[in-house]
Amino acid sequence: MNVLVISAHPDDETLGCGGTMLRHAAAGDSIHWLIATAADEARYGALSGKKAAEADAVAKAYRIAQLHRLGYPPAQLDRISTQELVDGVAKVAAAAKPEIVYTVGPADVHSDHRILFEAVEAALKSFRAGDQLRRILAYETLSSTDVRLAPDESFRPTVFVDITATLERKLEILGLYETELQKPPLPRNAETCRALARVRGATAGVGYAEAFQLLREVLRAGTKP
C-alpha cells in the first residue's frame, strides 16, 4: 500500500500520526512524506541545518520511501500563490499514488496548516488524485489543533487507530526533534503526547490511540462495503 503523509512543518506528522506511520512501516507499506516548509537560514541561521538534519533522522526512523520538501519559509504560506502550492502538493501526490492520505486539518490554529489543507483539498480532487486513492484523514497536532478557539471549526475525531504497540517508538522518534520539544505543561513533549493517546484510546476502548477526522472515503466496485 502507498501512503502519503502531509505536514506543514517537521514534527506535525509525529505528533499527529507517528504511531500510525509506524504501523504502516511494520506492514511493509510505502510511505511518502511531504513537508511544506523548511527553516530558512536567513531567519534561523545555523539552526536551519540542524532542523533539516532532524527531519532526515525522523524520515529514516519511519523508513520513509521518499521525503518531499516543498521548502517554503515557515509561517509564510500565506505569501505563496495558491496555485503554486496546489501544484506542489499535486506533483507529490502524482508521484506517490497514495491509497491513504494523512494530512493536517482545517481546525488548526496555525495559518500554515489551514492554508496547506486548502491546497490539499484542491490537489486531491477525485479527478486529480487517481483511482487508487480511497481514504483521506486529517490528524490532530498538539500546539495547533488543541488551541483552536472557533467552536464550529473544532477537531471532531471519527476514526481511531490503536497505537498501543507503537506508542513508545513514536515517543522516541519525537525525541529526535530536539529543537522543537517543549517542557510540560506545554504540549510538544512525550508526556503530553502519551496523555492524549491515552484519552483517545479510552474513547476507542484500547490502550492508546491516535484520532483522525475522516474527510473522504471511496469504496469502489469490488471492495467490501
Model pLDDT, residue 157: 96
Which residue from 49, 48, 68, 47 is spatially nearest to 4, judged by alpha carbons? 68
Q: Are 122 and 86 in contact (CB under 8 A)?
A: yes
Q: Tell me phi and psi for residue 17, to 5 degrees.
A: -145, 25
Listed residue (125, 127, 126, 103) closest to 115, CA to CA: 103
**49-65 CB burial, b ≥16 within 10 A, e <16:** eebbebbeebbebbebe
What integer pLDDT is reported at residue 225 of this predicted model?
Answer: 62
**Domains of the chain, earliest start first:** 2-217 (3.40.50.10320)
Q: What's the pLDDT band for 224 if we cut at 50, 70, 90? A: low
Output the pLDDT for position 1.
Answer: 96
pLDDT in tens, 17-72: 999 999 999 999 999 999 999 998 888 888 999 999 999 999 999 999 999 999 99
Tell me the whole-structure pTM to 2 decimals: 0.96
Residue 160 near residue 210, CB atoms below 8 Å: yes
SS (H, E, C) the chain: CEEEEEECCCCHHHHHHHHHHHHHHHCCCEEEEEEEECCCHHHHCCHHHHHHHHHHHHHHHCCCCEEEEEEECCCCHHHCCHHHHHHHHHHHHHHHCCCEEEECCCCCCCHHHHHHHHHHHHHCCHHHHCCCCCEEEEECCCCCHHHCCCHHHCCCCCEEEECCCCHHHHHHHHCCCCCCCCCCCCCCCHHHHHHHHHHHHHHHCCCCEEEEEEEEECCCCCCCC
- Among 164, 169, 133, residue whose Cα is nearest residue 1: 133
* Segment 96-126, tens digit of pLDDT: 999 999 999 999 999 999 999 999 999 999 8
Read off the pLDDT band of 129 (50, 70, 90): confident
Q: What is the pLDDT of residues 179-208, one digit of tens each?
A: 999 999 999 999 999 999 999 999 999 999
